[in-house]
């Protein structure tokens, strides 16, 4: 007995629209389609007489049984049938299809034309009677309006007809895209964490060795080491607060002056947003600690002077500049003793910026300038900011 065809289109049904209840009642569903949801509706709505399969009444029992098993499954499955590679799928397969139109009834090679060179050899093996199982297979698919990197674990299994001949194949699949991308992101995060730890341990080792080596007394070494490690700790806290791998110069300066809030009104800042990579940000925090400490002990901040800090990011061929200028210094002159602080400012920090540094002493003025390739600065992403109302 034939099955009555309605004018509902497969596109209408596959798009997620339900069959109106009044019309659903007159659909004569074959038993093998029962409970098949939207995919069964799409199969019923298609005019199969115009396809290589012919009218549904003429379909072989092997196809009907396979379709019934597929539609009853809650696991994503598709069936590819015959020489025309006619496609069927169940509702669980719909997220994998995405917005591809009218997949049911079309050739599998047409449905997945963008990845057909990758799929064809495996389908040929299935049609030759050999099952294929692949885990986390990478494919660039277009299930929406854009190419998309996706990963799938799937098995192509041959389906045999009543005579034992392979008539099609079953595609059982699960998408693993989110798992793979999450693992990849975790690898990046772990790599960044290890990189930061190495940088931090290197800095702590150098700071500890040099602070104690250049100290004239144990107490002087202890105080210098504690102060430098505290500065490094403040910079690390800022790095974590930014929720990323970059620290803005202005934020670094503010954090460096935080323990000296009473001196904040003698500080002038001039510069726009300028994110630094973590390594350079931590290095600049050490430079700021040395500059502030020296200024409080011997420079402008020991008296009535002031400090101006400028940083610039200008043209594409111009370097990054960080300039610390003290005015109102009493008898500014280069120190006779070259200690670890000088090495931090003139060697350690410039090396981490792949740049150079200079100092200028004269009269009542002291200038420290750090010059670095702009590419070093621009390798950092913009710091994350909290949204404000």
Taking residue 18's Cβ as centre, other Cβ atoms within 10 Å add up to 11
Is residue 15 predicted with pLDDT exceeding 50?
A: no
φ, ψ for residue 277, nearest 5 deg: -60, 160
The alpha helices in the chain, defined as continuous H runs, are 10-14, 21-24, 37-45, 61-72, 94-97, 108-111, 116-127, 177-214, 218-241, 249-257, 278-297, 340-343, 349-352, 374-378
pTM of the model: 0.52
Tell me what pLDDT residue 208 has. Answer: 76
Q: Give residue 125's Cα distance to chain centre.
A: 37
Is 50 exceeded by the pLDDT of residue 374?
yes
pLDDT range class, residue 4, cuts 50, 70, 90: very low
Higher pLDDT, 188 or 204: 204
The pLDDT value recorded for residue 14 is: 41
Looking at the predicted structure, is the pLDDT value of residue 24 above 90? no
Least confident among 142-156, 270-284, 370-384: 370-384
3-state secondary structure of 148: strand
pLDDT tens digit string along 290-331?
Answer: 898 888 888 888 888 999 999 987 666 789 999 999 999 887
Torsions phi, psi of 55, nearest 5?
A: -55, 150
pLDDT band at 370 (very low <50, low <70, confident <90, very high): very high
Contact 141, 112 (CB under 8 A): yes
Those residues with Cβ within 8 angstroms of residue 355's Cβ, 6 or more apart along the chain or in another chain: 319, 320, 370, 371, 372, 373, 376
Domains of the chain: 10-175 (3.30.450.20), 190-378 (3.30.565.10)
pLDDT digit string, tens, across residues 274-298: 888 877 888 898 889 889 888 888 8
* Confidence (pLDDT) at 220: 79
pLDDT at 234 over 80: no
Q: What is the mean pLDDT of the chain?
A: 82
* Residue 3 pLDDT class (50, 70, 90 cuts): very low
Section 181-201 average pLDDT: 69
- Residue 9 binned pLDDT confidence (cut-offs 50, 70, 90): very low
The per-residue pLDDT for range 72-124, each reduced to its tens digit, is 999 999 999 999 999 999 999 999 999 988 899 999 999 999 999 999 999 99
pLDDT(385) > 60: no
Q: Has residue 34 got a pLDDT over 90?
A: no
Contact predicate 195/99, CB 8 Å = no
DSSP string covering 354-381: TSEEEEEEETTEEEEEEEE-HHHHHTSP
Q: Cβ contacts of residue 304 below 8 Å, gap of 6+?
A: 328
Residue 110's pLDDT is 96
């Amino acid at each position: 007995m034939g099955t009555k065809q309605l004018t509902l289109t497969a596109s209408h049904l596959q798009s997620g629209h339900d069959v109106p209840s009044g019309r659903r009642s007159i659909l004569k569903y074959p038993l093998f389609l029962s409970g098949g949801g939207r995919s069964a509706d799409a199969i019923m709505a298609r005019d199969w007489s115009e396809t290589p399969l012919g009218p549904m009444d003429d379909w072989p029992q092997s196809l009907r049984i396979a379709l019934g098993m597929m539609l009853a499954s809650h696991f994503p499955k598709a069936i590819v049938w015959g020489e025309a590679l006619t496609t069927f799928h169940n509702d669980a397969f719909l997220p994998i299809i995405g917005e591809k139109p009218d997949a049911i009834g079309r050739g599998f090679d047409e449905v997945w034309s963008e990845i057909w060179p990758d799929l064809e050899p495996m389908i040929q093996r299935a049609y030759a009677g050999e099952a294929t199982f692949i885990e986390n297979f990478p494919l660039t698919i277009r299930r929406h309006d854009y190419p998309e990197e996706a990963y799938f674990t799937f098995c192509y299994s041959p389906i045999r007809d009543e005579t034992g001949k392979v008539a099609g194949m079953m595609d059982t699949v699960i998408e693993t895209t989110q798992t793979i991308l999450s693992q990849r992101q975790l690898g990046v995060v772990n790599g960044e964490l290890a990189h930061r730890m190495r940088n931090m341990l290197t800095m702590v080792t150098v700071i500890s060795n040099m602070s104690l080596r250049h100290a004239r007394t144990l107490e002087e070494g202890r105080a210098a080491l504690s102060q430098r490690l505290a500065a490094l700790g403040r910079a690390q806290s800022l790095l974590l607060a930014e929720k990323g791998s970059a620290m803005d110069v202005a934020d670094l300066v503010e954090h460096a002056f935080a323990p000296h809030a009473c001196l904040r009104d003698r500080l002038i800042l001039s510069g726009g947003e300028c994110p630094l990579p973590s390594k350079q940000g931590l290095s600049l925090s050490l430079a700021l600690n040395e500059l502030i400490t020296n200024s409080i002990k011997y420079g402008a901040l020991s008296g009535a002077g002031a400090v101006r800090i400028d940083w610039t990011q200008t043209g594409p061929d111009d370097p990054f500049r960080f300039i610390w200028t003290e005015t109102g210094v009493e008898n500014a002159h280069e120190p006779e003793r070259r200690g670890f602080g000088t090495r931090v400012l003139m060697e350690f920090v410039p090396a981490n910026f792949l740049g150079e540094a200079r100092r200028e002493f004269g009269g009542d003025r002291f200038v420290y300038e750090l010059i670095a390739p702009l590419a070093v600065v621009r390798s950092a992403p913009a710091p994350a900011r909290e949204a404000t109302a």
